[in-house]
Structure 1
Amino acid sequence: MLDLHNLRLAENGVPHLDSITASFAPGTLTTILGRTGAGKTSLLRAIAGLAIPDAGEIRLDGADWRRLPPWKRPIAMVTQQFINYPHLPVLDNVAFPLVRRGEKWPAARDAARAMLDKVGLAAMVDRRPSQLSGGQQQRVAIARALVKKAPVLLLDEPFVNLDYKLREGLREELVEMLRTETGTTVLYASTEPREALQLGDRIMLMAEGRLLDAGDPRAIFERPATLEAAQVVNAPPINIVPLEIDTVARMGPFGTQELGALGRDLAPGRYRLGLRAGDIAPGGPHRARVILTEVSGSETVTHLDLAGLPLVMHEKSVVAHAPGSEIGISARLDRGFVFAANGALISQGASHG
C-alpha cells in the first residue's frame, strides 16, 4: 500500500501540494485529474523523490520514504517528454535500468527484448531513438519503465505530446499491458476528464494543490461534491447559471423556471445551478449568440452568449453554427446540480449518467 499523509509542498509561497492525504492499493490504477498547475506533477515528483515535501509522509508498505533518495525508491516513471538515451540503441535503452541495479547485460537484454515485443517494437531493437517517430519513442520510454517491474508506476501525462489518434491507441495498449502487471500501483496524471474517467479504477480530483475529491470515477462524475469538483470533472466545461429562490425560481437570462423535484427542498436564497453542456440543445425559446464552434471528430462544442451569460452547448453531431449568428436554444434545467454559496452540492436532478 502506498500511503501519503498530510503532504505539503510550496515554492516561493505558492502551495503546490496542500495537505494531501491519500492511499493507493496494489493492483489499482488511479487517475489524478486536474488542470495545468493543479499539483499533479508535484505529487508524482514528491513520490518519486524528485521534489522534497515541506511536511508530511510518504510510505510504501509502512516503509518511510522521507530520507530515501530517488534512485533507491522502487518506482518507475514516464513523463510527457520522450526521455531516452540518444547514444544507445533501443534494446539497451530498455535494458539499462536493469543493468544499473545489478543485472548482467545478457539477462537484461533478454528482459528488454521481451518487453519491446509487448509494446510492438521487436523489429526496432537496433535503432537509435532519433530514428523513431514520437509515438515509438514514447513506447521505448514505457517499455523501460515497465521492464523494471517496480511496485509503483507513475505516469505524468505520458501521451500529451502525441496526436489524438496515436494517443488513443497507445493509451488502450498501455491499459492492456498494465492488466498483466498484477500488484503494481499505478498513478496516471491527466488534464482530460474523459481520459481520467475511462482509465482509472479510482480518480482523484486536484486544484491548486488541493485534493477536491477521490473515489469511484462514475460516482464522482454523477455526483460531484462541490462546484469546483464539477468544473474539473466535466468536459466540455459545466455551465454555471445564477439561481435565486423566493416564491419562484429565477435563473438569470433563462427567467422564471419550474425546477420540479430539483428545487423542492431549497430554502429561499441565492444558489448556482451547474448544467452540463449536453443538457443545452439547439432549438428553443432562448436566443443566444454564437461565439465559437469547435468540431472534434463527430461532435460539436459551441460557445454561446445568452444575454451576457456564457454557455457551452455539446452536440453529438457535426454542426456549423456561424460565429456571430443567433440561434434558439433550450435547456434541461431539471437535470442540473444546485450548489450553495460555499460551493457544496445540495441538490441534483436525475439521469446524470
Structure 2
Amino acid sequence: MQLALEQLGQKVGAVQHLYPLDLSLQPGAVTVLLGATQAGKTSLMRLMAGLDKPTHGRITVDGADVTGVSVRGRNVAMVYQQFINYPSLSVAENIASPLKLRGGLDRAAIAQRVKALAERLHIDPFLDRLPAELSGGQQQRVALARALAKNAPLMLLDEPLVNLDYKLREELREELTQLFATGDSTVVYATTEPAEALLLGGWTAVMDAGELLQYGPTAELFHTPKSLRVARAFSDPPMNLLEAEPAMFGVQLRAADGAAKAAGAARPPPHVPLPAALGGLLTGRLTLGVRAGALRLDQRPGDVALPGSVELAEISGSDTFVHAATSVGEVVAQLPGVHELALGAPITFHLSPDQVFVFGADGGLLLAPPRTHTRAY
C-alpha cells in the first residue's frame, strides 16, 4: 500500500490539532510516529484510519482519494494503548474473528492460522480462555494477534506497549520487530520513546505540537536531526544544550548564570575546536548539542574537559546517569557500568569535539552534525 497525506490538517473549534503536513509512507515498511504526549500522533493515526475527517488536505491510497471514506470502507487494522478484545469470545475466537469476517478460508485453515499467530506471540496455552482470565500483557498480545490475523495492508499501532511493565515491553518490542520484518503490511507505530523508534528501525516521523518536523530513515534522523526541536524529541535522556559563540578555530562555550559557583569550577568555560570549513557558518549565538552518551570519565587526545560537581547519580540497568553542575550549566552523562558517586563530589567529563552538534540561532537549524557518532541507546 502507498499511503500519502497531502497538506493534511485538522482543527477542532479554535484548536489546531494538526498543522498541514505532507507525508508519503514507505510501502511495506515500519514508520514510527515519534513525539511527546499531545504531539499529534493519535490525531494523525485516526485520520489515516478513517475514524476522523481532516479539516483540510486529502489522503490517497495507491493514488486514489480516500479522504471521505469511513473506517468501515478501509482495510485497516488498529491496536490501541488499551487492549480491546471481545470479552465473551475465547482467545482463539478473538484471533479468528477477522479471518471469519473476511471469508475464503475453511475452518481448518483458520485454526492453523490462529495457532501459528498464538505461538509466535506466546499465547498458545491460553487459546481456550476468555480475555478476562489473562494478564494485561497477555490480553495485549491477543489484540496484536487479532490485528496481525487481519493481514491488512495498513496496520496502525498507537503506543500499544505503554501500559505494560518494563520487562514485557522489552520482550514484545523484539517480537514485533521480527513480525513486522516478515509481514507485508505498511506499519505505523506511535511512541514517545526514542529507544523504541531505534529498535523498530525503518523510518521515523518526528512530531511536536501538531507539526511534522522531519521524516526519514530512523538512524539518519537520530544522527542528523535538522533542528533543535527534532534533537530534543529524539533524545532520552535529553540532549545537553550548551550556549556558545564563534571563536577562533571553533566556538567558545558561555558560562551559565550562577553555574560556576554551584559547580565549584574555577576555570573559564572551555573552547571547543571545530573544522575550519565551518568558519563562515558560525555567526551569532550558537547552541552546541551533546548527547549524554558522548560524555566520558576517561580522557583521550583532543578532548574538551567539563569539570563540575555531582548533583545526582542514577543507576539504570547497566548504565549510570550522572547529573552534574558545571560552569556551562547542568549536564547529564550516560556512563556505561555502575558508578557510585557521592552528591557534591567533584567530577570531570571529557568530550570529543567530533561528537558535538552545532545549531544556529535562526530557528535552531543544524549547522553541523557530529563527525563521529555516539552509541544509539
TM-score, normalised via structure 1 length = 0.91
Equivalence for 1:159: 161
Other-structure match for 2:97: 96
Q: How many Å separate the matches in 2 of 1:109 and 1:69?
A: 30
Deviates more, 1:245-254 or 1:298-307: 245-254
How far off is 1:195 after superposition?
A: 1.5
Contact kept in structure 2, 1:190 and 1:196, CA below 8 Å: yes
Are 1:246 and 1:269, in contact at CA under 8 Å, matched by a contact in 2?
Answer: no
Alignment equivalent of 1:298, drawn from 318, 321, 324: 318
Amino acid in structure 1 at the alignment position of 2:320: T
SS at match of 1:224: coil
Query: Which of 257, 275, 280 is residue 290 of structure 2 equivalent to?
Result: 275
Deviation at 1:109, TM superposition (A): 4.8
What is the DSSP-based 3-state SS (H/G/I as helix, E as strand, rest coil) of the residue aligned with 1:188?
Answer: strand
Q: Is the 8 A contact 1:90 1:129 kept in 2?
A: yes
Please identify, of 41-50 and 328-337, the stretch whose mean Cα deviation from structure 2 is larger.
328-337
Q: Which runs of 4+ in 1 moved over 6 A?
A: none
**1:226-248 CA distances to partner (integer Å, 9 max, x unpaired)?**
11111111222111100112557
Structure 1 SS opposite 2:163: coil
* Alpha carbons 1:92, 1:109 under 8 Å: kept: no
Cα distance in structure 1, aligned partners of 2:72 and 2:171:
31
Q: Which deviates the most, 285-294 or 196-205?
A: 285-294
Identity of aligned residues (%): 41
> How many pairs align?
352
Give the match's secondary structure for 1:312: strand
* Equivalence for 2:143: 141
The one of 309, 328, 351 aligned to 1:289? 309
Between the aligned partners of 1:322 and 1:157, the Cα distance in structure 2 is 37
Quickly say closer, same or farther: Cα 1:323–1:10, change in 2 above 3 A. farther
Gaps of 5+ in 2: 256-267, 300-304
Query: Which has the higher mean CA deviation after the structures are superposed, 239-248 or 24-33?
Result: 239-248
Q: How does 1:43-192 map to 2 (within 5 A)?
A: 43-101=44-102, 106=107, 108-109=110-111, 111-182=113-184, 184-192=185-193
Aligned residue runs from structure 1 range 200-349, under 5 A: 200-247=201-248, 249-253=251-255, 255-261=269-275, 264-282=279-297, 286-307=306-327, 309-341=329-361, 342-349=363-370
Give the Cα separation in 1 of the matches to 2:173 and 2:74.
Answer: 26
Check the 8 A contact 1:293/1:303 in 2, yes or no. Answer: yes
Q: Deviations over 1:66-95 (max 9, x none)?
A: 221112210001111111122221111112
What is the CA deviation profile of residues 182-212 of structure 1, one whole-angstrom value per residue up to 9, with x for unaligned ones? 2x11111111112102213211111111111
- Comparing 249-258 and 224-233, the one that deviates more: 249-258
3-state SS, counterpart of residue 165 of structure 1: helix
Q: Give distance in 2, aligned partners of 1:8 and 1:258.
A: 42
Unaligned residue ranges in structure 1 (runs of 5+): none
Deviations 1:259-318 (A, max 9, x none): 131754444421111111122233786442333322221011122222471211110111
TM-score normalised over the length of structure 2: 0.86
Closer/same/farther in 2, CA of residues 325 and 87 from structure 1, 3 Å limit? farther
Superimposed CA distance per residue, residues 109-139 of structure 1 (whole angstroms, 9 cap, x where no aligned partner):
5543342233222221110112112221111
Bigger CA drift: 320-329 or 100-109?
Answer: 100-109
Aligned pairs for 1:23-42 within 5 A = 23-42=24-43
